[in-house]
Amino acid sequence: MASPRLRDRLATGLCVAAAVVIALVGVSRGNARAGLVGAGVFLGYAVVQATARRLTPAARLLTGHEAEDREVLAQFRATRLAGSTALAVAAVGVVLSWTVDWGPGLWVAGAALLVVVAFAGGLWWYARAR
């Protein structure tokens, strides 16, 4: 059986190859935008795969599995920060909906992304704080 390192590299290589194939098929069929978006998704996954291979302590922080007390506390604080961010964004959305009659739209996806960024940033900040 292949080593975990070899499997990780193989998965990353296959993602890059799939991205090239999807881009070529999209461009050859006259739909360059779909081909590039599909290729971007696969390349993004390849980057995540290659990065995650090197971030074992960060993965331990995300899952909480076999984490030290300091890491568990960092995860708790980051989760609390993400929750607070979600509540603040929801409150701003309600106020904008009532006062400006601003309907939901693309900003909802941006707000969800902001919560994820708040969690990741909080995890990074609290994990490095001693």
Q: Residue 129: how many CB atoms within 10 A of its CB?
A: 10
Q: What is the pLDDT of residue 97?
A: 77
Q: Where are the domains of the chain?
A: 1-54, 57-130
Number of H helices, E strands in the chain: 5, 0
Q: What is the model's pTM?
A: 0.49
Q: Tens of pLDDT along the chain (130 residues)?
A: 567 677 778 888 888 999 999 899 989 989 888 888 888 888 888 887 776 666 556 565 555 555 577 777 888 898 999 999 999 988 888 887 788 877 666 677 778 888 888 988 888 888 887 5
User: Which amino acid appears at position 11 of this protein?
Assistant: A
Q: What is the pLDDT of residue 61?
A: 58
Distance separating alpha carbons of residues 6 and 28, to the nearest angstrom: 33
Helix (H, G, I), strand (E, B) or coil at 1: coil
Distance separating alpha carbons of residues 73 and 57, to the nearest angstrom: 14
